Amino acid sequence: MKSLLLALNVSLLAWSGISYAVDIERGQELHDSHCISCHAAIYGDKGNEIYTRENRKINTLNELQAQLKRCKNSLGTNWPEDQMLDVQHYLNSNFYHFKE
């Protein structure tokens, strides 16, 4: 019975997404080594200003997620969902500050 309850608990946690521990540091590492250079090349700055520019396009968490998918595709990576979430949390906690 105990293991059944445990299994139920684990699947509920997985279902609600709570079991996943966000790793913002890993998000920053991924971001800095794969994403910054293209933004910097396009906008001619250090690469992070794109997130705080005046006319930025991203105004909601959903838009942020959609943009991350587009950029992930242009980068051509195959990062699993948890890595994308780490990057998303890194960007959100440092630049966007949308309510999650």
Give the contacts of 100 (CB within 8 A, at least 6 positions apart).
61, 89, 92
Name which position in 2, 54, 57, 97 contacts ligand HEC (CB under 6 A).
57
- For residues 78 and 74, what is the distance between their CA atoms, to the nearest angstrom? 11
Q: Which amino acid, 50?
A: I
Structure tokens at 84: 């994308």
Name which position in 56, 83, 93, 98 contacts ligand HEC (CB under 6 A).
56
Least separation, in Å, of the C-beta of 21 and ligand HEC?
A: 20
Site for ligand HEC, rule CB under 6 A: 31, 34-35, 38-39, 42, 50-51, 56-58, 64, 67-68, 71-72, 74-75, 87, 91
